Structure 1
């Protein structure tokens, strides 16, 4: 949460000339409720189940940039699907930056109770192992989003060059 997946994803898609999809927005459009309300109303397990089905549809077909919810890659089934059919990117930001960014709006159900920074640290500790399986690991800090996009483009070029050489 707060790593910049949607903002960086939108800019990356534009830079690469690809369509952009935000999985949270897709869920909202399909159900007609904000994702935070869905999460609170139906719980994390049901939300993640719907998210898993949506991601399976999004990766089947057209090449595009997809920003997924923060917990998507933790689900073993979804992670395997993404690793098999996409190039996955872990946007890794320090907890202090995540806390500042997520504090700008009160739309994240997992952060509504308790200390924001402690909650983010706990979530990061749970997710870090799964995220380490992403094809690319890009550090995202408090710099400009365009810098993160350019880093991703360079990493993608190296990754794809390595795959064609093999």
Structure 2
């Protein structure tokens, strides 16, 4: 966006499956827009002084999801930023409504093989701690994709796309939303 200046009016909320690149793309996007990058999972971990896996074991998924809603609502009511959410955050109708009302949901859509290649060697995903994590991921994908499709905007991920390519693609789709991103010429 050389020669152009962008002003963020509403928070950009990145949604999608684990491994879609929400955190990496979010950081790059925030840097380009010179706004804060926030991660709802990181905020929950900080508040609970426990990892997400520990919260799931100690308090259960329902407890975690309630805290997730509280954190997302709080972050959306702060300064406009780029917000990365956990893979399950957008599944709750209340979260989708809050995000749509106060920000814009951008779905980073990736196919199952790409997601698996990115998450299969990580042990930080509590939902994949099963006998067959690939099958579990496939089930999550099958049930979650129709809900992610309700996002305001969609950006397809490709295995050959760099983080920078993805940030550019998100900025391109945001051009259709002047209520979120105002672009003007420098000078």
Pick 1 or 2: higher relative contact order, CA cutoff 8 A, min separation 6: 2
**Structure 2 gaps, min length 5:** 1-17, 183-187
In the alignment of these two chains, the number of paired residues is: 164
* Residue pair 2:174, 2:180 contacting (<8 A) in 1 also: no
Give the TM-score, by structure 2 length: 0.83
Give the TM-score, by structure 1 length: 0.93
Q: 1:62 aligns with which of 75, 79, 87?
A: 79
Task: Tell me the distance in 2 between the aligned counterparts of 1:93 and 1:71.
Answer: 15
Q: 1:83 aligns with which of 100, 106, 122?
A: 100
* Residue pair 2:30, 2:82 contacting (<8 A) in 1 also: yes
Relative to structure 1, the CA distance from residue 162 to residue 52 in structure 2 (aligned partners, 3 Å threshold; closer, same or farther) is closer
Task: Tell me the distance in 1 between the aligned counterparts of 2:65 and 2:179.
Answer: 34
Q: 2:152 aligns with which of 112, 135, 145?
A: 135
Which residue in 2 is equivalent to 1:102?
119
**Structure 1 gaps, min length 5:** none
1:6-17 aligned within 5 A? 6-17=23-34
1:41 is displaced (CA, Å) by: 2.0
RMSD: 1.8
Moved over 3 A (4+): 161-164
Which residue in 1 is equivalent to 2:135?
118
Task: Tell me the distance in 1 between the aligned counterparts of 2:180 and 2:121.
Answer: 40
Task: Tell me the distance in 1 between the aligned counterparts of 2:125 and 2:136.
Answer: 12
Q: 1:144 aligns with which of 130, 147, 162?
A: 162
* Residue pair 1:21, 1:65 contacting (<8 A) in 2 also: yes
